[in-house]
Structure 1
Amino acid sequence: MKQLYGVIGDPISHSMSPAMHNSAFSDLGIDAYYHPFHVSPEHLKDAVKGLKALNIQGFNVTVPHKTSIIPLLDEIDPLASAIGAVNTVVKKDGKLIGYNTDGLGFVSALLHEMGNLIHPECNILIVGAGGAARAIFYTLLSKGWTRVDICNRTVQRAEVLIGECPIVGKSKPLTLQEAQSTLNDYDLIIQTTSIGMSPRTSEIPIDLENLKPNSVVCDIIYNPLKTELLKNASIKGAKTQNGIGMFIYQGALAFELWTGIKPDTEKMKKVVLQQLGGTTC
């Protein structure tokens, strides 16, 4: 009998996770199936009980359930607890255990794609203060980076994010205007908002006029594959990275948590690019 895995969210029809994970199961000869479950917020509690009753071995959690699922699980990994969000659930010894692989996925992709351009002394700026920013911010600090500043249209949200982090760094909350005027202080800029995502592809979350030519600019958006922000960064001589890597590596880390096996991330990437209708990043 096939092992059951899946993803819950609302909406969920757009998810590329089923194609990515089912391809990995097939490549590795694992008798398993990954299914998308459309779960509305009012049915989340019943859905979690149902998935447990169905003996699901693991599942991903996407918007809007990453926070609200926490009290419905048996255990929470310390990093996921600190972040306050779960995107991966593993069934172990009859218990549902929550993890967050979003931040780790981003960092893994960053180090894989940028190599020695990224080092512990990097000055980092995160644009945005939402859930993705929180996961990336906490993970960067947990991995040893200390100078990680956050800018946001509402600077109070950046202040709260920094203040709530249990890991002490040298972080500053900034307005967008402050960040734009001091952009040449940063070696790495990470864009975590939805600004520039399809269909509003002409929008840019931060002005890059003062960008350092040899810096790295990341955008966690992957539709389009190259946002207006990344296009502008390339013109100014920066190295760029889109959100495909983060999506692939967070999925690969979830897959490994479920099965104990590291999947082929290059094959996963090809599947996702095929789903997006593109061939390059």
Structure 2
Amino acid sequence: MNYRLGLIGFPIQQSLSPWIHQQFLKQAGLEGDYCLFEIAPDRPFEKEISRVKNEQLDGFNVTVPYKKRIIDCLDDLDEDARAIGAVNTAVQRNGKWIGCNTDWIGYTTGLKHHYPSIFQNTTSSILLIGAGGAARGIFYGLMKEGFTRIDIANRTQSSAEAIAALARTNTHTSVITLQEAENRLAQYDLIVQTTNIGMKPNVTDTIISLEQLHEDSIVSDIVYQPLNTEFLHQASQKGASIHYGHTMLLYQARTAFELWTSKQVPVDDMDEQLKRKLEGS
């Protein structure tokens, strides 16, 4: 079987997803390709999605800014995508397109791989910065892992409150301002930066000051271009442990690949290979 896979979003020409999935196809002993379908915001979205579907794809990924908009173009959602309210992976099953979300497991798996110790204490205090689609997935994933204290800091309080509404009865969540986050930073064991602030070309930007950061904290940034964001650079200068954003990209891709092909593939040294590719970009 020759698998036809792809990615929709904008902009995506610099995406590393084709490289990742070609590695997975090779490891699984499968033939196939992974194409980019860039849809500019001024294009008729539904018409463009129909065109993509006519490409006889077995599945496709969805990235910004279409993770919510794609939902109306699909036949159904799986449990995770429905709960999160966002789709990053579409799978064709029995002639129908099913929307899934692998971002949440991509984030938690990557974090667990590098910092397994934090998962041994589910009362660890966590701060999410930002309240977009990525934050929704990460909040959901950390909640599924059993963490009971997850606060959200965002400029727009209503967006953060919408994510807090996902909380289970044993999950305690406070919605705070970015200024409050700066002032309280020392109390958090894990700080996750979920916005695109600091992404190329605006590499000197940071969303909050890390002046109050505790050196025992883990600081995570989902931005991976550049790999070592200014946010992570400042965190490392304060003595904190840092977690790079490329691991979420890699592990969400692995789960998507398994959904499409039913093949489990080892990541092996791909984490380090992807890191080197990003450092050289």
Q: Same fold (TM over 0.5)?
A: yes
Contact residue 37 and residue 52 of structure 2 kept, 8 A: no
* Structure 2 gaps, min length 5: none
Partner residue of 2:186? 184
8 Å Cα contact 1:19-1:271 kept in structure 2: no
Counterpart Cα distance in 1 of 2:156 and 2:52: 38
Quick one: structure 1 residues 92 and 32, their matched pair in 2 at CA, closer, same or farther if it must change by over 3 Å? same
1:113 & 1:273 partners in 2: Cα distance? 13
Partner of 1:30: 30
How far residue 50 of structure 1 moved from its aligned partner, in angstroms, is 3.5
Q: CA deviation at 1:136?
A: 0.7
What is the match of residue 239 of structure 2? 237
Name the structure 1 match of 2:139.
Answer: 137
Aligned-pair CA distance for 1:247: 0.6
> Does structure 1 retain, via aligned residues, the 8 Å contact 2:143–2:167?
no
Q: Which residue of 1 aligns with 2:73?
A: 72
Task: Supply the RMSD in Å over aligned alpha carbons.
Answer: 1.9
Quote how far apart the aligned CAs of 1:183 are: 1.2
- What amino acid is the match of 1:121? T
| Over 6 Å off, 4+ runs | none
Task: Give the drift of 1:155.
Answer: 2.8
| Percent of residue pairs identical | 43
Q: What is the Cα deviation at residue 20 of structure 1?
A: 1.2
d(CA) in 2 for partners of 1:48, 1:203: 34
In 1, the alpha carbon distance for the partners of 2:225 and 2:205 equals: 13
Amino acid at match of 1:36: L
Q: 1:84-115 CA deviation, whole Å, 9 max, x = no partner?
A: 11000111111111111111100110011111
2-structure distance, mates of 1:229, 1:64: 23
Q: Does 1:62 align with 2:63?
A: yes
Of 194, 197, 205, the residue aligned with 1:195 is 197
Distance 1:214 1:270, change over 3 A: closer
Q: CA shift at 1:271, angstroms?
A: 5.0
The answer to which of 40-49 and 232-241 deviates more is 40-49
Of 24-33 and 102-111, more deviation after overlay is shown by: 24-33
* Partner Cα separation in structure 2 for residue 243 and residue 261 of structure 1: 25
State how far apart, in whole Å, the 2-side matches of 1:64 and 1:246 are. Answer: 18
* Alpha-carbon shift at residue 47 of structure 1 (Å): 3.5
Could you state the TM-score of these two structures normalised by the residue count of structure 2? Answer: 0.92
Report how far residue 255 of structure 1 moved: 0.7
What pairs up with 1:1-281 in 2 under 5 angstroms?
A: 2-41=2-41, 42-118=43-119, 119-163=121-165, 165=166, 167-168=168-169, 169-273=171-275, 275-278=277-280
Letter in 2 for 1:120: T
Give the letter for the 2:34 counterpart.
Y
* Aligned residue pair count: 278
How far did residue 199 of structure 1 move? 1.7
Superimposed CA distance per residue, residues 172-194 of structure 1 (whole angstroms, 9 cap, x where no aligned partner): 00011111111111110000111
Residue 12 of structure 1, CA deviation: 2.2
Residue identity opposite 2:221 in structure 1? D
1 CA distance for matches of 2:108 and 2:235?
A: 20
| 1:196 match: secondary structure | coil
Report the Cα offset of residue 277 of structure 1.
4.7
Offset at residue 275 of structure 1 (A): 4.2
